Amino acid sequence: MATSALYTRIYGAVRRIPRGRIATYGQIARLAGVPGHARLVGYALHRLREGTDVPWHRVVNAKGRISLPPDPESGGLQRGLLESEGVAFDVSGAVDLKKHHWKK
């Protein structure tokens, strides 16, 4: 895997997200110490897979929606994980940022 310092920082930042809360890519990038690299956060998470200790499902885009198309294999895993943590989804499939957006 293409290990890099940024990946490590990004993963570390994601791990800091409290349970039942969600954060945006831009926010994670900022926490990771690399503001402006929201895309890198997404890229890093994309390389992840089951078995990691990173709660990637708590990371969503600025709209509070899941950017990743539902994977038939995982059966909409991300949404299920969030719901089991108490995160409410809007009817349009967006997270309720009003309630669950994580604030440092």
Query: Does 42 interact with DNA (rule: CB under 7 A)?
Result: yes
**Residue 22 interacts with DNA (CB under 7 A): yes or no:** no
Separation of alpha carbons 8 and 88, rounded Å: 29
Q: Which of 12, 20, 48, 97 binds DNA (CB under 7 A)?
A: 48
**What minimum distance in Å lies between the beta carbon of 102 and DNA?**
13
The structure tokens listed for 98 are 């009003």
Of 18 and 62, the one with the shorter C-beta distance to DNA is: 62
Considering the rule CB under 7 A, would residue 57 count as an interface residue with DNA?
yes
Is 11 an interacting residue with respect to DNA (CB under 7 A)?
A: no
Would you count residue 20 as binding DNA (CB under 7 A)?
A: no
Nearest of 51, 102, 54 to residue 74 by alpha carbon = 51
How big is the CA angle at 13 (ends 80 and 62), to the nearest 5 degrees? 60
Q: Does 97 bind DNA (CB under 7 A)?
A: no
The answer to whether residue 61 forms part of the interface with DNA (CB under 7 A) is yes
- Residue found by looking up tokens 């992840």 in the block: 48
Q: What is the 3-state secondary structure (H, E, C) of 70-101?
A: CCCCCCCHHHHHHHHCCCCECCCCEECHHHHE
Segment contacting DNA (CB under 7 A): 14-22, 56-64, 81-89, 95-103? 56-64
